């Protein structure tokens, strides 16, 4: 029995407050996503599209298992056909190719739309919801097709990184760590163009934290003017030329900056100059300056300086994806561009499922969502998925789902200082081809 079918069959017996996974991935989401597949089929000799979507989700939960083993663990098969026949590697690959990437993207965006803007107790900062935008790179297997499509870290010479890379820019709820939306593209596209569509997904009365790489008059002016009481906060760029318009006090001033001709050429509606509030403060003897659209009449410089350090929460979210879910794997497992996109959308959807369930469990235990250990929550929910999919008795499914959030309450992290770990060094670029079959050095 498939996981989706077990949940559907038991839906009538589930109490409203134990309808866990059904509230996460409603049937209408699955149906709408399946309709996006250009080659959706109902022929019995092929895997139904909803089961293929669960297979892609399973790939995210069980990174170290072969895809065929993932299908066996989740009891995925076509009705009336031998299990082994449908679990052949070629059959699973063909099923994923028929499904395509759009259904998984649709499911992920539905999850972000509904869960990413949810409010939790003590969620707001001075009445504003806190979000963050940042980018991350993912590597793919090295093949001519993938390198041609995604590109890599090329320089002005022939040097390039050993693996093709794709870029993901995400908008994340800082409190729950749920990803509201994301844009995925080949490496050659920059972070600022990918971030532009995301600002329209921000709710009103919010503050968005960004890295200095997102300094763009077009992006920041559009963010602040696209809704009601939407603000931004990011560190100042070094060497930026500005003029002080008004002084609010020590380390707090309003500055004016010119908009570059290149930016105005791309967007003629931009003004010739724009203003931002600049706040300078000291950290361990070093001066730091941040720019923001928050007005001085409402928000103090000290509160804003403290708020910016929460931008690191989105870095922790990317770390959870790469470390806990991908198990520090160097590359994604898919070998064609379409399946790479599909795998990554499935990975983001699985991440949101874990974060949403952890956030809801935290609320029941009157704790903050980020206090639950993501690694252990991921392992726990993965084990529950296997138990549900292999449970022959739908009557016991309700009880197991009812116990899920109560069990997640055991996964809260201890309140201890986070250890200091240096950031990983980027892959070095080389002008020479990399021999994957070379013998290791002795």
Residues 237 and 206 in one domain: yes
Residues 189 and 311 in one domain: yes
Task: Read off the pLDDT band of 284 (50, 70, 90).
Answer: confident
40-58 mean pLDDT: 66
- Domain membership of residue 347 (yes or no) is no
Select, from the ranges 68-77, 176-185, 380-389, the one with the highest average predicted confidence (pLDDT): 176-185
Residues 143 and 95 in one domain: no
User: What CA–CA distance (Å, rounded) separates 44 from 33?
Assistant: 20
- Domain membership of residue 8 (yes or no) is yes
pLDDT, tens digit, for every residue of 229-274?
A: 999 999 998 888 899 999 998 899 999 999 999 999 989 999 999 9
Residues 86 and 115 in one domain: no
**Residue that finishes a domain, picked among 300, 316, 332:** 316
Tally the domains of the chain: 2
Residues 85 and 120 in one domain: no
Range of lowest pLDDT (9-18, 263-272, 415-424): 9-18
- Domain membership of residue 344 (yes or no) is no
Q: What is the per-residue pLDDT for 146?
A: 93
Task: Tell me what percent of the residues of the chain surpass a pLDDT of 90.
Answer: 43
Task: Read off the pLDDT band of 442 (50, 70, 90).
Answer: very low
Q: What is the per-residue pLDDT for 47?
A: 61
- Domain membership of residue 327 (yes or no) is no
Six token digits for residue 186:
């080949």
- Domain membership of residue 357 (yes or no) is no
Q: Which residue has the tokens 């994923």?
A: 96
Residues 128 and 151 in one domain: yes
Q: What is the per-residue pLDDT for 213?
A: 92
- Domain membership of residue 354 (yes or no) is no
Residues 88 and 170 in one domain: no
Domain range for 63: 3-35+38-99+373-411
User: What CA–CA distance (Å, rounded) separates 351 from 325?
Assistant: 8
Task: Read off the pLDDT band of 311 (50, 70, 90).
Answer: very high
| CB neighbourhood size of 405 (10 A) | 19
Task: Read off the pLDDT band of 39 (50, 70, 90).
Answer: very low
Q: Choose between 229 and 54: higher pLDDT.
A: 229
**Residue that finishes a domain, picked among 316, 338, 361:** 316
What would the DSSP string read from start to end of 391-435?
Answer: -S-GGGHHHHHHHHHHHHGGGBPP--PPPP-PPPPPPPPBSS---
Q: What is the per-residue pLDDT for 64?
A: 87
| CB neighbourhood size of 151 (10 A) | 19
CATH code for the domain of 223:
3.90.350.10
Residues 61 and 183 in one domain: no
- Domain membership of residue 441 (yes or no) is no
Range of lowest pLDDT (148-152, 156-160, 296-300, 327-331): 156-160
Residues 203 and 173 in one domain: yes
pLDDT, tens digit, for every residue of 131-155?
A: 999 999 999 999 999 999 998 875 4
**Residue that finishes a domain, picked among 293, 316, 339:** 316
- Domain membership of residue 258 (yes or no) is yes
Q: What is the per-residue pLDDT for 345?
A: 96
Cβ 223 vs Cβ 208: under 8 Å: yes
pLDDT, tens digit, for every residue of 170-215?
A: 999 999 999 999 999 999 899 999 999 999 999 999 999 999 999 9
Residues 92 and 134 in one domain: no
pLDDT over threshold 50, residue 7: no
Residues 13 and 50 in one domain: yes
Q: Choose between 184 and 411: higher pLDDT.
A: 184
Residues 391 and 293 in one domain: no
Select, from the ranges 7-11, 92-96, 315-319, 401-405, the one with the highest average predicted confidence (pLDDT): 315-319
Q: What is the per-residue pLDDT for 228?
A: 92
């Amino acid at each position: 029995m498939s996981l989706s079918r077990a949940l559907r069959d038991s839906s009538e017996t589930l109490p409203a407050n134990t309808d866990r996974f059904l509230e996460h991935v409603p049937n209408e989401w699955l149906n709408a996503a399946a309709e996006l597949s250009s080659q959706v089929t109902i022929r019995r000799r092929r895997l139904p599209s909803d089961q293929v979507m669960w297979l892609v989700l399973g790939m995210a939960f069980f990174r170290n298992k072969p895809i065929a083993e993932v299908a066996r663990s989740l009891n995925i098969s076509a009705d009336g056909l031998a299990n082994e026949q449908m679990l052949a590697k070629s059959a699973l690959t063909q099923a994923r190719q028929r499904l395509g990437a759009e259904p998984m993207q649709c499911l992920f965006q539905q999850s972000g739309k509904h869960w990413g803007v949810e409010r939790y107790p003590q969620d707001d900062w001075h009445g504003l919801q806190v979000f963050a935008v940042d980018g991350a790179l993912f590597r793919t297997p090295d093949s001519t097709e993938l390198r041609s499509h995604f590109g890599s870290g090329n320089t002005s010479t022939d040097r390039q990184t050993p693996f093709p890379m794709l870029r993901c820019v995400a908008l994340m709820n800082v409190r729950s760590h749920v990803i509201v939306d994301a844009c995925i593209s080949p490496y050659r596209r920059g972070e600022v163009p990918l971030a532009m569509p995301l600002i329209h997904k921000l709710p009103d009365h919010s503050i968005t934290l960004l890295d200095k790489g997102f300094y763009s008059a077009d992006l920041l002016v559009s963010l602040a003017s696209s809704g009601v009481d939407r603000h931004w906060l990011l560190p100042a760029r070094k060497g930026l030329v500005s003029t002080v318009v008004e002084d609010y006090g020590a380390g707090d001033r309003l500055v004016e900056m010119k908009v570059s001709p290149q930016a105005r050429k791309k967007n003629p509606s931009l003004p010739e100059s724009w203003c931002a509030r600049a706040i300078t403060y000291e950290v361990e003897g070093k001066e730091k300056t941040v720019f923001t659209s928050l007005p001085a009449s409402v928000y103090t410089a000290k509160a804003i300086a403290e708020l910016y350090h929460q931008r690191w929460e989105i870095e922790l979210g990317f770390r959870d994806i790469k470390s806990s879910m991908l198990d520090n794997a160097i590359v994604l497992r898919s070998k064609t561009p379409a399946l790479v996109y599909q795998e990554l959308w499935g990975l983001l959807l699985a991440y949101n499922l874990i974060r949403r369930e952890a956030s809801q469990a935290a609320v029941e235990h009157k704790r903050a969502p980020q206090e639950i250990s993501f690694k252990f929550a991921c392992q726990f929910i993965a084990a529950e998925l296997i138990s549900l999919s292999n449970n022959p008795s739908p009557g016991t499914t309700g009880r197991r789902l009812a116990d899920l959030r109560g069990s997640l309450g055991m996964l809260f992290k201890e309140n201890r200082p986070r250890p200091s770990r240096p950031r990983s060094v980027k892959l070095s670029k080389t002008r020479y081809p990399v021999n994957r079959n070379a013998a290791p050095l002795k």
